[in-house]
Structure 1
Amino acid sequence: MILGAYLIGNMTALIVKESKTEKFRDKMADVIKYMNRNRLDRELRNQIKGHLHLQYESRYTEASVLQDIPISIRAKISQSLYMRYIENVPLFKECSLEFINQIDIRLHEDFFLPGEVIIEQGNVVDQLYFVCHGVLV
Structure 2
Amino acid sequence: MAFTVVYISFSIVLSAYLIGNMTALIVKGSRTERFRDRMTDLIRYMNRNRLGSAIRSQVKDHLMLQYESSYTRDRVIVDDIPVAVRSKMSQTLYLDMVSRVGLFRGCSDDFLSQIVLKLHEEFFLPGEVILEQGTVVDQIYIVAHGCLVLFFTETRDF
**Do these two structures clear the TM 0.5 threshold for a shared fold by scoring above it?**
yes
Note if 1:119 corresponds to 2:131.
Answer: yes
Give the distance between the partners of 1:37 and 1:92, measured in 2 at CA.
44
| Matching residue within 53, 67, 70 for 1:42 | 53
Aligned residues: 136
Q: Cα deviations across residues 32-89 of structure 1 (Å, max 9, x unaligned)?
A: 3444455433322210111111222232232x11122121111111111111111111
Aligned sequence identity (%): 60
Give the distance between the partners of 1:60 and 1:129, measured in 2 at CA.
21
The one-letter amino acid paired with 2:142 is: F
RMSD (Å), alpha carbons: 2.0
Q: Which residue of 2 aligns with 1:52?
A: 63
Q: Which runs of 5+ in 1 are unaligned?
A: none
Q: Which runs of 5+ in 2 are unaligned?
A: 1-10, 150-158
Higher-Rg member (1/2): 2
Q: Secondary structure at the match of 2:86?
A: helix
| Matching residue within 19, 29, 33 for 2:40 | 29
Give the distance between the partners of 2:135 and 2:52, measured in 1 at CA.
25
Per the normalisation by structure 2, the TM-score is 0.74
Closer/same/farther in 2, CA of residues 124 and 33 from structure 1, 3 Å limit: closer
Q: Which residue of 2 aligns with 1:109?
A: 121
Give the distance between the partners of 2:135 and 2:51, measured in 1 at CA.
25
Per the normalisation by structure 1, the TM-score is 0.84
